[in-house]
Amino acid sequence: MTVRVDDATHHPVRRANKVPRFVTLMSPVLQALMRRGVPMGPNVLLTVHGRKTGAPRTTPVAIIEVEGRRWIWSPWGDVHWAMNLRAAGRATVSVRGREEAVTATELDEPGRVAFFRDTFTPFAKAMRGGEAFVRVVDGVSLDDPAEVAARTRVFELHQAG
């Protein structure tokens, strides 16, 4: 994450991290397919109101579901959807035409370490090619949960109301 200081207020202003180019190119394709009901594994469409405009923003994300609990993570840290979700605290998750309102709780760094150590790494290893996918596509090695936790963001999702 890049932090700069606002010239007028002298307060830090967070800037979003950049998502890899291939993700930027593939997201509209994934969104179109998913809106038409094409199953994409653990991927869902996440719609969050923008922190500046208030306009709804939709992006595909993968849900990690283990023992009835659900999380989403940003391998690239503070990207726009993660910053929007942090600010809003709520979102809509859409899968094959079904929408669900959710609230989101961001995990702190010790919570992220535990998540990567105890939940995500076993989840990825249990999926055929899961660990390789995370390494190649997300650019994350799961060998050191503390290192991963230091540079990523994780939100636990809860059914709203």
Write the pLDDT tens digit of every residue in 87-127.
Answer: 999 999 998 889 999 999 999 999 999 999 999 999 888 88
The token duo for 98 is 């079904």
Domain at 2-107+155-159: CATH code: 2.30.110.10
The more confident residue out of 43 and 102 is 102
Average pLDDT of the segment spanning 52-62: 93
Q: Domains of the chain: which residue ranges?
A: 2-107+155-159
pTM over 0.95: no
